[in-house]
A and B are shown apart, each in its own frame.
Chain A
Amino acid sequence: MRTNDVMLQTATKVVTFIILMFAVHIFFAGHYTPGGGFVGGLLTASAIVLLMLAFDIETVKKIIPFNYVMMTAIGLLLALATAGASIFFNVPFFTHAYDYFYLPLFGKTSLHSAALFDLGVYLVVVGVTMTIIQTIGEDE
């Protein structure tokens, strides 16, 4: 018999978005304050795990139809490409670049290629964590 978990599911619908927003904040704040791709990725994964706890794996698969192995591979490629871009400028591998830009809404913003590398880390962390949890969860 399945217990009625209306409370859990309603709370989850609200809390998941707060966690996801916090993950994005942590991810972008990583350069100047504690945070970065690794914790951001773990937070995102924890939001998805909360969804899985409140609903079930099949429903969550329908909501977020990602192949997490692909996500890991894309993250690896992105990290490698960011580091490898330096090869084309004939500077040592992993040399990053940054500059200041005037963006419409944000004003003067510094954009750094390390953020792209961090995005790769983020994708790998989310992909690997979710692959582990999904594989163990679906195991008979």
Chain B
Amino acid sequence: MINLLLFPVIIPMLFGTILLFFPKNIRMQRLIAVCGAAITFIAALFLLAEVKTNGLQAVTLGSWDAPFGISMVSDLFSVLLVLTATLLTVFVIFYSFQTIGFEREQSYYYPAVLFLLTGVNGAFTTGDIFNLFVFFEVLLMSSYMLIVHGGEKPQLRETIKYLLVNVISSALFVAAVAFLYSVAGTLNMADLAVKIPQIQETGILTVIAVLFLVVFGFKASIFPLYFWLPGSYYAPPIPVLALFGALLTKVGVYAITRTYTLFFTMNTEVTHEMLAIIAILTILAGCIGALAYFDIKKIIIYNIIIAVGVILFGVSQMNGASIEGAVFYLIHDMLIKAALFFLVGIIAVLFGTTNLREMGGLIKTYPLLGWTYLVAAFGLAGIPPLSGFPGKLLIVQGGFEGPNFWGSLVILATSLLVLLSVIRIFIYAFWGTPVKTVPINKSVYNQMFIPSLLLVIITVFVGVGAELFMPLISGAGEVLLNPSIYIDAVLKE
């Protein structure tokens, strides 16, 4: 089955297209959307098994030879991300049933979610730099639709900003690809990795590398380019926010990781040093935001920015421990961010507000919700048995082994600030004198709480069973550190 690695891209697209035929039938919409996401997840599991046993999978579309056609490549890194993204989409669809509202469900909400998954999985799987652009546009188009869906006033206002920023960064992306094509003469990533070391003028290549960092930095929200994120992510409803927070910025992080490990390695003392400094600044900027607000959604949104900084610092160090740490932390962060947004969404519904100062005493009425949130918060900060710990430990270790030990110190110090920012939600919302909560139907509450609880259980499992996942993670790190494995598999030399 040589097309197996394409299934996580094709299946959500097929199901999304089928959903276009009967927008008004909510029951069928829900059923088929869940089926589509679940089948995609099963396909991704098969793909993981295949990549684990037989090594890196590559197929070039249309039976053309490798550098001439579009290559689709699935190594352990991308297949792990595809698996995580698909799993999260399944949970988001379940969570949407009670939270998104009938009117949104009737106007093509589920097709948009599935097309977003198509774009995300495609961006993780592609081996061609222009095809990466196309999949970026697929996921961005779906995200434009999801962010404005419902047409409330804040949504309309923030969509204008979000759209403008992304249109400009996409235009920059095209310019950067054109630049790269005129220098290297190829668009295939494996072929680029062969051609770039042969080019003598590293000056122009360094400029292109920085240009790509700017482009992907807009999508991933790194330090000076994150300005659009807090406002835009605040506007859409919670399931959409969970989907965005868990998937969209991570595609940018993935793209930086892929380009900076595979082919922009000719002048690491400039590019990777710069990436390290920007990553640390990103962490600091995120921490300031996370501590500044008394709004539960804003606090978690700023934690997205912090995590982007931590992962990119790991990528910039380019040694075994730090790369493995970055991969582990990336997967952990996708899961934990979705879980936290789910839980925060429940808290916001219960109190009818997102302002921390108007909350209190929830632990008396909803104890299980409280302890689940506490476990998720500890997981985010990286308390040892939980999932945030192994990744951060490896990144810090990589920083000490590499040239930027000061970065590791910043990451350790800011972990405390992360913990403070999320534990503040716990203290304000769950302790103190009880505030009157909005009455909520038991079954509605369960349909929101059960996906959140399952997701938190999965993150605990990822943390406790880290030893189980380590072979996969180090396999992913190995391909990132040795581009020759990637090149040989794609170009079949």
Contact = CB atoms under 8 A, between A and B. Distances in A.
Nearest to A69: B20
A92 B2 contact: yes
A72 B14 CA distance: 13
A73 B17 CA distance: 6
A80 B20 contact: no
B61 A92 contact: yes
A104 B430 CA distance: 80
A80 B62 CA distance: 14
B60 interface: yes
A61 B13 CA distance: 29
Contacts of B3: 86-87, 90, 92-93
Nearest to A86: B3
Contact of B63 (A77, A84, A91): A91
A133 interface: no
A84 B6 CA distance: 10
Nearest to B16: A76
A127 to B, nearest CB: 10
Interface string B10-52: 1001100110110100000000000000000000000000000
Interface string A43-83: 00000000000000000000000000110110011001000
Nearest to A75: B17
A28 interface: no
B323 interface: no
B393 interface: no
B1 A92 contact: no
A80 B115 CA distance: 14
B60 A80 contact: no
Contact of B21 (A70, A87, A96): A70
B475 to A, nearest CB: 24
B59 interface: yes
Nearest to B108: A69
B63 A73 contact: no
Nearest to A79: B17
Given A72-B20, A87-B3, A92 B59 contact: yes
Interface residues of A, number: 17
Contacts of B59: 92-93
Looking at chain A's contact residues, the main secondary structure is helix
A95 B72 CA distance: 14
Contact of A94 (B13, B14, B20, B62): B62
A75 B59 CA distance: 25
A94 to B, nearest CB: 4
A87 B6 CA distance: 10
A92 B60 contact: yes
A80 B59 CA distance: 18
B61 A93 contact: yes
A95 B17 contact: no
B17 A77 contact: yes
Interface residues of B, number: 18
Contacts of B72: 93
A138 B295 CA distance: 41
Contacts of B14: 77, 80, 84
Interface in B286-306: none
A1 B218 CA distance: 53
Nearest to B62: A94
A80 B14 CA distance: 7
B20 A73 contact: yes
Contacts of A95: 61-63
B354 to A, nearest CB: 33
Contacts of A77: 14, 17-18
Interface string A103-134: 00000000000000000000000000000000
B63 A92 contact: yes
A69 B20 CA distance: 7
Contacts of B20: 69-70, 72-73, 76
Given A91-B63, A92-B2, A93-B61, A80 B13 contact: yes
Contact of B17 (A76, A93, A96): A76
A91 B60 CA distance: 10
B151 to A, nearest CB: 13
B2 A80 contact: no
Nearest to B61: A94
Nearest to A81: B14
Contacts of B23: 69
A92 B61 CA distance: 6
A83 to B, nearest CB: 8
A113 to B, nearest CB: 11
A84 B62 contact: no
A76 B21 CA distance: 12
A18 to B, nearest CB: 33
A77 B60 CA distance: 22
A128 to B, nearest CB: 12
8 contacts: A70-B20, A70-B21, A72-B20, A84-B10, A84-B14, A93-B62, A93-B72, A95-B63
In order of increasing CB-CB distance, the 4 nearest A-B pairs are A73-B20, A94-B61, A95-B63, A94-B62
Given A84-B10, A92-B62, 5 more contacts: A73-B21, A84-B14, A92-B3, A93-B3, A93-B61
